[in-house]
Amino acid sequence: MSAEPKPAYKASDFKSDIAPIWCPGCGDYHVLLSITRALAQLGKPPEQVAIVSGIGCSSRIPAYTNCYGFHGVHGRALPIATGLKVIRPDQTVIVTTGDGDGYSIGGNHFLHACRRNLDLTMIVMDNHIYGMTKGQPSPTTEPDLDTALTPGGTGLRPFNPLVIALASGANFVARAFAGNIGQTTSIIVDAVTHPGFSFVEILSPCVTFRPDQRSWKTQVHPAPVDATDDPARAARRIMTDDGFNLGVLYRGNRQPYTPKFGGSGCDLSELEREFEL
Amino acid sequence: MQLAEISSVSLAFLGSGGAGVISTGELLLEAACKNGWYGLLTRSVGPQIRGGEAAAMLRLATQPVDCHADRFDLLVAVDWLNAQRFALEMPLGPRTIALCDPESGAVPEFVRAAGVRVIELPLKAMTAANPEWRPNMIALGAALRVLGLPEDAARAAIENRFGDKGAAVIVASLAAVKGGADAVESGVLPARLPAPAASGTARWRISGNQAVGLGAVRGGVRFAAAYPITPATEILEWLALNLAKVGGALVQAEDELASINMIIGGSYAGAPSITATSGPGLSLMVEGIGLATAAEVPIVVVDVMRGGPSTGIPTKSEQSDLNIALYGMHGDAPHIVVAPQSVSDCVFTAQWATYLAEAMQIPVLLLSDQFMGQAHAAIDRPADVAFVGQRRIARDIAGTYRRYSLNGPNVTAMALPGTPGGQYTADGLSHSERGTPSSAASDHRAQLDKRANKVHEFDFGDHWATLHGSGEIAVLTWGSVTGAVLEGIALARTDGIDVRVIAPRLLLPAQPERMAAALGGVRELIVIEQSHGAQFYRYLRAHYHLPRNVRVVNSAGPLPLRPGDIYRELTAERAA
C-alpha cells in the first residue's frame, strides 16, 4: 500500500480550547466540526484563516476556532469580513452567521455581499428561530409558529435565502444539513475553493426552541441533479423543491470583485500638486 | 462706529441653480488667488440638484481669512430667482452695490431695503447680441472690473477649467469676460481690494473636505469605506482618487452600518482606516464605533456637521453633533473627539486624528462642519508635521498571545491576520486578556480600566487647543466658529478691549489641568458656539471649572457667526 502524503493539518488544529455555550444536541456543534475538518482539508495554517461573525448562537464560532476571528455586532459580519478581505486578500475569510443575524438585521449586507462578489464564504446556520433570545421568529420561520412575541404566529411567508442569493449575484449556492458532517465538510471545502462569494445555507436544528427540527435528519436528501451554472435554472429548482435538497445547487463563473489598489510608488507630496497656486 | 479698516472685499454671485454662479465664484477665487490674494469661497444652495437658488459667496483679502465679513460689498445677480431666500445669509448695506439686469425681474425686497446701489448689467441684451456668451462669464468680467482686477486675470483659470471643452469655449468665455468688464465702470465700488503683499510662502487653494482627506493620508490612512452624504461626500471622492495613488483603496458601502464595519474590518487587518459622514450617518455608525472601542480597533470617523436633528439642512452648517460625538455610545466607551478650526487646520487635525487612533488603538471622531468642509480657501501651505500613525504590532509571538494583556502598557500589541501564534478573536463582548468572551466582573472591570487608562496616560501635548491673547475676558469656542471669533476680538482690541481666546481642538478626553492653566486669571468668560442647545457650554460645564461670570452665545445654524457679531457681544454690555 503506497503511503499517502500525511495531511498537514488535523481538524483539532483549528479548534480552540474554549468550550461552546450551545445546548446539548445543537446542530452548530456539527457545523463547527465540519468547518474545522474542511479547513484541515484545505491545508492552510490556522493563522491564514479569518472567521467573522455577528451576534447569535452561530456567531459564537470564531472563538471556538484557532483562527483569526472577529465577533462583531449584530448583523454586521459581512461588512467586517469585506474590509478584512479587501485589505488581506491572502487570507481565507469565512463568515459564520444565522438566519436572524444574516437575513434579518444583516439582510441588506447579504444582498450587497452577493452583488459585490468578493472572494468570501458565508455559512448560515439556519434554524428558523432566534435561539439566543429564546425563541422569536426569524425571516425563515413558518407563518404559524406560535411564539411569545408573535402569539398565533407571524402570518408572514418565510423568504427563500437561496433564491435571494442567486438573484443578488452570489457565485456559489449550496444547501447542507448540519448532521451530515461528511457532506457539509466537502461543501464547505468546495465553497471556499470556488472563486467569488460563496453562500452555504446549513439547516442546523435548534433542539431547544424547535424540537420539531429533530425530524430534519429524515427529511433531507441529496439534490437529484448536479449543480448548474445557470442562475435561472437554479432558482427554478430551488423554488420548486421541498426545501431539503442538499448539495451544491449553483456554481457560477462571475469574476470576483477585486478593489483597485493603486501603485504604492507615489510620493505623498505629489498629492499636494492639485492644490498649489 | 467703523468696525474695522477694510482689508478684504466680499461679494456674492446669485442665480438659479444651473446658471453657473458657483463655478463663477470658483473662477474668481482662482483668478484672485493666482494674482496674489487670499480668499474664502462658500456656497449656499437650496435642496434642489438643478434649478433651485444658488449663491457663491466670496471674500478676497490680503491675508488668509477663515470667516465671512460682516457685509457684502458687491452682489452680482445673474438672475433673482428665489433670491429673497438669501435675505438672512447676505447682510448688505448702503455701501453695497448690486450688478443686475432689469430684465431679469424686480430687485428683491431685502436688497432694496438695505439701500444697495443698483447698477445695470444688461445680461439679456448682451447674450442676445452674442449668443455664445454665457451670462455667468459676463458677470465674472463685470466683477473683475468693479474689483479693479484686469479681465486677463481670469484667463489662466478659464483655460484651466474649460481646457477639455475645446478652444472655442475658451475663446467665447474670454470674450464674454471682456464684454462684461467693458459693460461696467471701475471705481463704482466704495470698498477697495488692496494690492497683495508679496508672499514668500507656497500657497494652496483647497477645500476643508479635501484638506481632511489629505491630512488623513499624510497620517497613514490607506483604506476608506464610503457611503455618500451631503456635505461629506467630497472627502470620500477625494480619497477614492488619491488613496489609489498611494497603494490604498476605497470601497463603496451599501449603507453607513456597512461603511463603519468595513473600516473596522480593514483596520483589524492592518490598514489605518477612515470613513466620513454627516449627522444621520453618524447616528447609524454609533454602534460600530462602540465596537471599535471594545475590540480596540483604531479607526477615524469624520462627521461634517450639518443642520439637525434628523435630515435637518443637509447643505448648511451647524455645530450640533457635539453631544452625539461625545456621548453617543452606550456603555462606558472611551474614544477621542477632535475638531479642526479652519480649512487649513483640517489638514493638521485629520493627520493628528489618524496618529491618535493608531497610537491608542481607539476610534477618533473628527468633527468638521459644512462651512469649512465645503469652503474653498486660499491658504499658506500647512507646515509638515511628524504625526504618522504607528500602531503597536505583535510580531514573533512565542507562548500564549494575550491581545488584551493586563501586564504591561495599556496599549497592547495587536497581532495582524497571518501572524503565526497571534490568532485571537476581536470581540464586542466583554472579554478576558486573550479576547475570550467573559461576563465575569473581574474581566469586565479590568478591561474597562485598560481602555480608560490608555487614554488618560496619553500626552496630547500643546495641540489640545489654540490659545490667543491674554486679558481677563476670555472667549471659549470651537470648530469653524473660531475664525469669526478671532476677527471679532481683533476688532475689540482696537477699542482697547483685550480678549483671550481658548479654542480646544481636542474635545475628548477633556484636559482639565491644561484648561485650568488657560483660564488662569480670567474674570469673565463668553462661550460662543453654533448650537441651539448650547451643547458646547454644557460640555464645558460638565468637564471644566469655569469662572463664575459666564455668558453663552449659542447661535443656531445655519447662519455663520461673523466678526461683527462677536465684536458686539464683547462690547455691548460694557457700553451699556
pLDDT in tens, B220-266: 999 999 999 999 999 999 999 999 999 999 999 999 999 999 999 99
pLDDT confidence band for A260 (50 / 70 / 90): confident
pLDDT, tens only, B279-300: 999 999 999 999 999 999 999 9
Q: What is the pLDDT of residue B198?
A: 75
**Least confident stretch, A65-69, A225-229, B6-10, B287-291:** B6-10
- CB-CB neighbors (< 8 A) of B218 in chain A: 268
Contact B424 A82 (CB under 8 A): no
* Confidence category of residue B3, pLDDT binned at 50, 70, 90: very low
Query: Please, is A137 exposed, middle or buried when counting C-beta atoms within 10 Å of its C-beta (0-12, 13-18, 19+)?
Result: buried
Domain B205-380 shares a fold with domain B464-575: yes
Contact A264 B254 (CB under 8 A): no
Closest residue in chain B to residue A263, using alpha carbons only: B247
Name every residue whose Cβ is closer than 8 Å to that of residue B391 and which is 6 or more positions away in sequence.
B272, B298, B358, B359, B361, B414
Q: Can you identify the CATH homologous superfamily of domain A21-275?
A: Thiamin diphosphate (ThDP)-binding fold, Pyr/PP domains (3.40.50.970)
Residue B574's pLDDT band (cuts 50, 70, 90): low
Is the pLDDT score of B459 beyond 80?
yes
Q: How far does B120 lie from chain A, in Å, by closest CA?
A: 34
Helices (H), A194-230: 216-219
Suggest the residue from B27, B41, B205, B254 to mutate for an interface test with chain A (most A CBs closer than 10 A): B254
CB contact under 8 A, B261 and A79: yes
**pLDDT single digits (tens) A119-128:** 999 999 999 9
- Closest chain A C-alpha to B380 CA, distance in angstroms: 10
Domain ranges of chain A: 21-275
The CATH architecture of the domain made up of B8-182 is: 3-Layer(aba) Sandwich (3.40)
A76 touches chain B (CB under 8 A): yes
Among chain A residues, CA nearest to B213: A271
Give the closest-approach CA distance of B427 to chain A in angstroms: 5
Q: What is the mean pLDDT of residues B303-315?
A: 96
User: Using CB atoms and an 8 Å cut-off, which of residues 246-265 of chain A contact chain B?
Assistant: 259-264
Confirm or reject contact between A169 and chain B (CB < 8 A). no
Q: How many residues are present in chain A?
A: 277
Across the range B529-534, mean pLDDT stands at 98
* Statement: residue B485 has pLDDT above 60: yes
Q: Is there a contact between B420 and A45 if contact means CB atoms under 8 Å apart?
A: yes
Q: Residue B227 class from Cβ within 10 Å (0-12 exposed, 13-18 middle, 19+ buried)? A: buried
Q: How many CB pairs under 8 A join A and B?
A: 184
CATH superfamily of B205-380: Thiamin diphosphate (ThDP)-binding fold, Pyr/PP domains (3.40.50.970)
pLDDT given at position B2 = 36
| φ and ψ at residue A11, rounded to 5 degrees | -55, -35
Please tell me what DSSP assigns to residue B393: B
Query: Which pLDDT value is given to residue A234?
Result: 98
Contact between residue A256 and residue A119 where contact means Cβ atoms under 8 Å apart: yes
Taking the CA of residue B206 and the nearest CA in chain A, the distance in Å comes to: 6
Question: What percentage of chain B reaches a pLDDT higher than 90?
Answer: 88
| Greater model confidence, B81 or A200 | A200
Q: Name the band, by pLDDT with cuts 50, 70 and 90, for residue B7.
A: confident
Residues of B whose CB is below 8 A from A73: 261, 287-288, 290-291, 428
CATH 3.40.50.920 describes domain B464-575: yes
C-beta of residue A138 within 8 angstroms of C-beta of residue A129:
yes
pLDDT, position B232: 98
Q: Give pLDDT tens digits for B193-210.
A: 888 877 778 999 999 999
Q: Quick check: A79 and B295 CB within 8 A?
A: no
**What is the predicted pLDDT for the residue at B4?**
45
- Tell me what pLDDT residue A2 has: 55
Kindly report, residue by residue over B120-133, the tens digit of the pLDDT: 999 999 999 999 99
* pLDDT above 50 (res B576): no
pLDDT at residue A50 is higher than 50: yes
Q: What is the pLDDT of residue B575?
A: 52
pLDDT (0 to 100) of residue B49: 65
Q: Does A63 touch chain B (CB under 8 A)?
A: yes
Q: Average pLDDT in the B401-423 region?
A: 98
- Residue ranges per domain, chain B? 8-182, 205-380, 464-575
ipTM (interface predicted TM): 0.97
Q: Could you write out the DSSP letters of every residue in B110-166?
A: HHHHTTPEEEE--HHHHHHH-TT--HHHHHHHHHHHHHT--GGGGHHHHHHHHGGG-
Distance, CA of A122 to CA of B412 (rounded, Å): 31
d(C-alpha B304, C-alpha B366), whole Å: 8
User: Chain A residue with minimal CA distance to B216?
Assistant: A268
